[in-house]
Amino acid sequence: MASKGREGEHPSVTLFRQYLRIRTVHPEPDYGAAGAFLEEQAHQLGLGCQHVEVAPGRVVTVLTWPGTNPRLCSLLLNSHTDVVPVFRVCVWRGVQALYTKEHWSHDPFEAFKDAKGYIYARGAQDMKCVSIQYLEAVRKLKAEGHHFPRTIHMTFVPDEEVGGHQGMELFVQRPEFQALRAGFALDEGLASLTDNFTVFYSERSTWWVRITSTGKPGHGSRFIEDTAAEKLHKVVSSVLAFREKERQRLQSNPHLKQGAVTSVNLTKLEGGVACNVVPATLSASFDFRLAPDVDMKAFKEQLQGWCQAAGEGVTFEFVQKWTEPRVTSTDDSDPWWAAFSGVFKDMKLALEPEVFPAATDSRYLRAVGVPALGFSPMNNTPVLLHDHDERLHEAVFLRGVDIYAQLLSALASVPALPSDS
C-alpha cells in the first residue's frame, strides 16, 4: 500500500473522499465530473479508458487492465457512480441548505472525517467506496509487479439508483459491452453488522403494481353502494394479509434471510377530487420484491384473483416488472465461486451467501449470461445506504482494498474454462 498522505491520512482514503465530493446526486448528477475523475485515475494507473454514451448525458466509463492471455474471458468489476438524494431544507443558518442538520451531522458532500475515523458522505457505503477500492486494489497489485492471465475491466455506470434503465440495462446490449467478453462479474453488496461478510448470488425480482378500482360516484353524505373505495379496500386487505404471512414466515425461521421471502409495501394512494365527492376511481400502488424461487405465472394469477374477488371494475397494471431472475453458482465445483470463496478461507474470514433483498445492476449482467456476485467488504458496520448520516470507517475501507486485491488476484487467475472458447 502507498505511503501516508497529508496529515497522516492514507492516500487511498484521500482519494475516496475526493470522489465522494463529486455531486453525482439525483435528480441532476454531475456525471461529467465523475468521468473526468475516473479518466485521470486511468492515466495515473496506466489503464485503458473509454467512455460509452448509452443515452444522452448517460456515459459508462470503462477502465481496462489487459491480461496476459487475451483468449480468456475477462473479469468485470462494476460500480455505479450515482447516489440518492438527501432530504432538503429551505434555510439553515440563513442560507440555502442541501441537508437538514437534524438528520445529517455533516454536509453529505463534504466527506467529513471525524476524530474516530468515520467518513460521512452520501455514497460512502452505496457505493463509491467500492469504486475506489477497485482502483486502489489495482494500484496495489500493479505496484507489486503482478500480471494476470485474465483482463480486468472496471465499469462505472450511471443511473443505477433510478433503475439502471439508462445505464447498465442499455450497456449490456451494446457492442462495446460484448467486446469486453466478461466471464464473471463483481458488483455491490451490503454492509454486515457482524464479523461475517455477506455475498449475494441472486436478488429478488421487482414488481411495481398499480391496482385501480372503479365504482359508483356521488355525494359524500350518502351511503353509496359499490364504491371504488370499498373494492380497493378489499384488495389492499388481501395484499397486506399476504405481506403479514411472509413477514411471519421470515421471523419464525432463524435460518431465513430477507431475500428468501417475498416482501410487499403499499407505497402510493391516488384519487379523489373533493372531500364531499365519492370518487369514481381510486388506485393503490405496491412495491413487490419476489424471491427467486417464486412461480411468477402463479403469482400473477394470484394478483388477478385478488382483483376479481374485490368485485367488478378492479384491474391491475405493471409499472415495472422483472421476470428474468438468475442465480450465480455458489457450488465449490464452480471455478469462479471456488476462487472467490477460497480467498476468504485463506484469510480466515467468514462468508455468508444470501439473496440480495433489493435490486442492483447485477440483474442485467446475469440476464445476459454473465455470472455475478454482489459484494461490499464492510463487516461490523451498520447498514446505512440511503440513510441519514451514511458513513464508513476508514479502517473498514482500507481493509476492503486489501480484500479486493486478494480477490482480483484469485479471480483474474482462474484457469481456462470451456466458456472461454
Q: Is the peptide bond before 70 cis (omega within 30 degrees of 0)?
A: no
Along the 421 residues of the chain, how does pLDDT read in single tens digits? Answer: 333 445 689 999 999 999 999 999 999 999 999 999 999 999 999 999 999 999 999 999 999 999 999 999 999 999 999 999 997 543 334 444 455 556 899 999 999 999 999 999 999 999 999 999 999 999 999 999 999 999 999 999 999 999 999 999 999 999 999 999 999 999 999 999 999 999 999 999 999 999 999 999 999 999 999 999 999 999 999 999 999 999 999 999 999 999 999 999 999 999 999 999 999 999 999 999 999 999 999 999 999 999 999 999 999 999 999 999 999 999 999 999 999 999 999 999 999 999 999 999 999 999 999 999 999 999 999 999 999 999 999 999 999 999 999 999 999 999 999 999 8
Which residue reads 480477490 in cell numbers? 407
Q: What is the structure's pLDDT at 8?
A: 86
Domain locations in the chain as residue ranges: 6-203+325-420, 206-321
C-alpha cell at 402: 486489501
Integer CA distances (angstroms), 400 to 2, 259, 378, 394, in order: 15, 24, 7, 10
The residues, ordered by sequence, that sit 6+ positions from 201 with a Cβ below 8 Å of its Cβ are 327, 328, 329, 330, 353, 354, 355, 373, 374
Q: What is the pLDDT of residue 421?
A: 85
Residue with cell 378489499: 234
Write down the architecture of domain 6-203+325-420 according to CATH: 3-Layer(aba) Sandwich (3.40)
Catalytic residues: 82, 160
DSSP character at residue 368:
T
Question: Distance (Å, rounded) from C-alpha 274 to C-alpha 2?
Answer: 66
In whole angstroms, what is the distance from residue 208 CA to residue 150 CA? 39
The burial of 403, by beta-carbon neighbours within 10 Å (0-12 exposed, 13-18 middle, 19 or more buried), is given as buried
Q: How far apart, in whole angstroms, are the C-alpha atoms of residue 269 and residue 267?
A: 7
Contact 265, 243 (CB under 8 A): yes
Please list, in sequence order, all residues whose beta carbon lies within 8 angstroms of the beta carbon of residue 219, skipping any fewer than 6 positions away.
276, 277, 278
Number of Cβ within a 10 Å radius of residue 241: 10
Task: Calculate the alpha carbon distances from 352 to 105, 118, 355, 380 in Å.
Answer: 32, 25, 10, 14
Backbone angle region of 27, left / alpha / beta, with phi > 0 → left and psi within -120 to 50 → alpha = alpha
Helix (H/G/I), strand (E/B), else coil: 81: coil
- Given the C-alpha cell 377530487, which residue does it identify? 273
Residue range 206-321 forms a domain whose CATH class is alpha beta
CA distance readout (Å), 124 to 22, 381, 386, 402: 12, 12, 10, 18
Grid coordinates representing 8 are 497522516
> How high is the pLDDT of residue 90?
39
